């Protein structure tokens, strides 16, 4: 946020945004923000497809390239955040130990969100939205993944 400016004008919006209850970004915007951490401060536009090939000839019809959209954090900050994100997976008290991937050293961030209902927050054991954002490999990320699970059964 630029000092003194926020799009959240109401006191409730300002307060609940401070602890993650009022964030209004979509998944692709979130993924784009994570690219700055993965790319040493360089934020890029995420894309799903690397290239399009003709199925009959195998020739590349279109190749997509990386588009830089900004530099919101320094390289040293990005490196430190990736280190913390590795701790989420590999430290003894890390909340993301179940996200380890055999053969890769990864970095990740877990999330837990309450689900709001008409009479307050739901209170069941599994009445949460769980999420995970991660990089592989951790030191020189090539891939970013985001997943979320609402009220998982297992």
What does the domain layout of the chain look like in residue ranges?
11-150
Cα gap 105→139, rounded to integer Å: 8
Strands 43-44 and 51-53, sheet pairing: unpaired
pLDDT of residue 115: 85
Cα gap 114→150, rounded to integer Å: 10
Please tell me the pTM assigned to this model. 0.76
- Three-state helix/strand/coil letters over 35-92: HHHHCCCCEECCCCCCEEECCCCCCEEEECCCCEEECCCCHHHHHHHHHHHHHHHHCC
User: Do 134 and 144 contact (CB within 8 A), yes or no?
Assistant: yes
pLDDT of residue 1: 45
Question: Which pair of tokens denotes residue 92?
Answer: 């003894």
E strand or H helix that includes residue 13: helix 11-17
**What does the DSSP 8-state code read for residue 29?**
H
CATH number of the 11-150 domain:
3.40.710.10
Q: Give which of 151, 111, 148 is closest to 127, Cα–Cα.
A: 151
Give the pLDDT of the chain (154 residues) as one tens digit per residue.
Answer: 455 555 666 777 767 666 666 667 788 899 999 999 999 999 999 888 889 999 999 999 999 888 999 999 999 999 999 999 999 999 999 999 999 999 999 999 999 888 877 888 888 888 899 999 999 999 899 899 999 999 988 7
pLDDT of residue 114: 85
- Three-state helix/strand/coil letters over 76-104: HHHHHHHHHHHHHHHCCCCCCHHHCCCCC
pLDDT of residue 125: 85
């Amino acid at each position: 946020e630029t000092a003194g400016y926020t799009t959240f004008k109401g006191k409730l919006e300002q307060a609940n945004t401070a602890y993650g209850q009022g964030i209004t970004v979509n998944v692709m915007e979130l993924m784009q923000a994570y690219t700055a951490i993965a790319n040493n401060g360089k934020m890029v536009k995420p894309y799903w497809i690397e290239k399009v090939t003709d199925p009959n000839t195998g020739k590349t019809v279109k190749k997509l390239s990386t588009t830089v959209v900004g530099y919101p954090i320094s390289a040293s900050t990005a490196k430190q955040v990736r280190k913390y994100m590795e701790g989420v997976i590999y430290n003894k008290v890390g909340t993301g130990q179940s996200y380890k991937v055999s053969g890769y050293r990864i970095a990740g961030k877990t999330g837990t969100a309450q689900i709001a209902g008409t009479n307050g927050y739901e209170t069941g054991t599994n009445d949460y939205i769980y999420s995970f954002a991660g990089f592989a490999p951790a030191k020189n990320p090539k891939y970013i993944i985001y997943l979320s699970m609402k009220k998982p059964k297992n």
